[in-house]
Amino acid sequence: MTASPVGVVVALLSEAKALGLRSPKPGLNTERGPELLIHVSGIGEAAARAAAEALADAGCAALLSFGTAGGLDPALAPGDVVCPSRVLFMDTHTVDIDLAWRARLAARCAEAELELVDGALLTTRQTLLNAGIKFLAHTQSKAVAVDQESSAVGDVANARGLPFLALRAIVDDAEATLPLAVIDGVDAYGRPKAAVMLSGLIKAPWQIGKLPGLARSFGAASGSLKAICRAVPDFAFQA
């Protein structure tokens, strides 16, 4: 397989489409050619770690954790993009990111009038479903956003001596409550499990009212990620 300068880990198939993939599939995707090698890992720490190892083994010169996140800082809104200067795992250890790479990406985005939010990104093992849990996470960690994959990607990059960066667009803000029927009603790659989702909505029909807002928020996050990919298709990485 042709080596790629940047290996990109994304959890969801829908997130991979923001990178320009027309028909992404779980696992390695080479549609973007030699500049990017993309691995759709599925949700979670273990899956992201395995994807990052595969990308490093394939000869990637750097690793990027890419996709969506939940907001912890009340100032963040759906569509805001966090490029953290620190990544924390469960508030137990910090993963180093490449500050020079981040500065180049932020400068290129600024030229295109796209803003990147600084701060810490928290990685957890479970989705933070409501405002109360997010408030506690924000208070304890001081992180501005949360995901479930970035620290694992960063750990692999640090262990392999590779530059690491994370880029995450906010879907659910700090006040949002995520419908459990939606969380349970998709598989690890974000593909719907219709029967499970329908069952969850029948048991708790109040969740139906949350779906249009969630769709709009995901659309805002996806639009922001696509805008950055159009403006900076190489993510400003320099080998």
Assign residue 147 the CATH number of its domain.
Answer: 3.40.50.1580
Domain count, the chain: 1
> Among 91-95, 153-157, 210-214, whose mean pLDDT is lowest?
91-95
The pLDDT value recorded for residue 91 is: 67
1 within some domain: no
Measuring CA to CA, how many Å separate 192 from each of 14, 26, 127, 142, 157? 11, 14, 17, 33, 31
222, 19 in Cβ contact below 8 A? no
DSSP states of 21-60: -SS--SEEE-TTGGGEEEEE--SSHHHHHHHHHHHHHTT-
193 within some domain: no
53, 156 in Cβ contact below 8 A? yes
69, 171 in Cβ contact below 8 A? yes
What are the tens digits of pLDDT across the range 187-205? 999 998 889 889 988 988 9
Q: How many C-beta neighbours within 10 Å does residue 127 have?
A: 15
How far is the C-alpha of 142 from the C-alpha of 144, rounded, in Å?
7
The pLDDT value recorded for residue 32 is: 83
Task: Give the mean model confidence (pLDDT) for residues 162-179.
Answer: 95
Query: What is the model's pTM?
Result: 0.92
Across the chain, what does the average pLDDT equal? 93
How far is the C-alpha of 210 from the C-alpha of 164, rounded, in Å?
35
> Among 33-37, 161-165, 204-208, 213-217, whose mean pLDDT is lowest?
33-37
Exposed, middle or buried, 220 (CB in 10 Å: 0-12/13-18/19+)?
middle
82, 69 in Cβ contact below 8 A? yes
pLDDT band at 2 (very low <50, low <70, confident <90, very high): very low
77 within some domain: yes
198 within some domain: no
Q: Which domain holds residue 132?
A: 6-175+218-231
16, 32 in Cβ contact below 8 A? no
213 within some domain: no
189 within some domain: no
128 within some domain: yes
What are the tens digits of pLDDT across the range 114-166? 999 999 999 999 999 999 999 999 999 999 999 999 999 999 999 999 999 99
47 within some domain: yes
169, 225 in Cβ contact below 8 A? yes
Q: How many C-beta neighbours within 10 Å does residue 221 have?
A: 25
Which of 189, 20, 228 lies closest to 106, judged by CA? 228
